[in-house]
Amino acid sequence: MKAMMLLGYAVMSLPLFSASAVRAAVTQAAKAEVTPGYVRPTFAGMDMTAGYLTITNNTRGVLTLTGVSSPVAAKIEIHDSRLENGVVRMREVDRVEIPAGDVYKFEPKGRHLMLLGLKRELKVGETVPVDLHFEKNVVQTQLPVKE
């Protein structure tokens, strides 16, 4: 009799566990914490600039950043800068994998965002809307324009 009661409770709680697992998976996809950095200002005739921010992976799995976009730029590339034989070299990176619990920083003289084909001049004090495209979702942020 006791075994039958325990089995009944287990069967009744299955939908709760399933719903809980689904909620956890959906929540996990949205746990990329973005700390806005900034975008460098431009001047007349400039059609590109750099942007910086920090992404913290608060999930239990790997977060994969697959792209970045903004309405102010025709294209945003993810770049990595490295010092090679005394020369700083930039290379485009098509995706960034951020391990669980890790922090990925886009900062001057290192990894950064290159905003290309700017549609207008970016002035100090403005903000630039940026969408970070992850494999499972898009995270929107605003980057202030500053020196």
Q: Residue 82 has what pLDDT? A: 84
Q: Residue 67 has what pLDDT? A: 97
Instruction: For residue 16, give the 3-state DSSP assignment.
Output: helix
pLDDT tens for residues 66-107?
999 999 999 999 999 888 898 888 899 999 999 999 999 999
Q: What is the pTM of this model?
A: 0.76
Residue 121 phi/psi, 5-degree rounding, is -70, 140
| Closest alpha carbon to 132 in 69, 59, 55, 74 | 69
Alpha helices in the chain (DSSP H): 2-29
Q: Residue 39 has what pLDDT? A: 98
* Residues in the chain, pLDDT under 70: 1-30
b/e map 110-139, b = 16+ CB within 10 Å: ebbbbbeebeebbeeebebebebbbebeeb
Q: Residue 78 has what pLDDT? A: 97
Instruction: For residue 54, give the 3-state DSSP assignment.
Output: strand
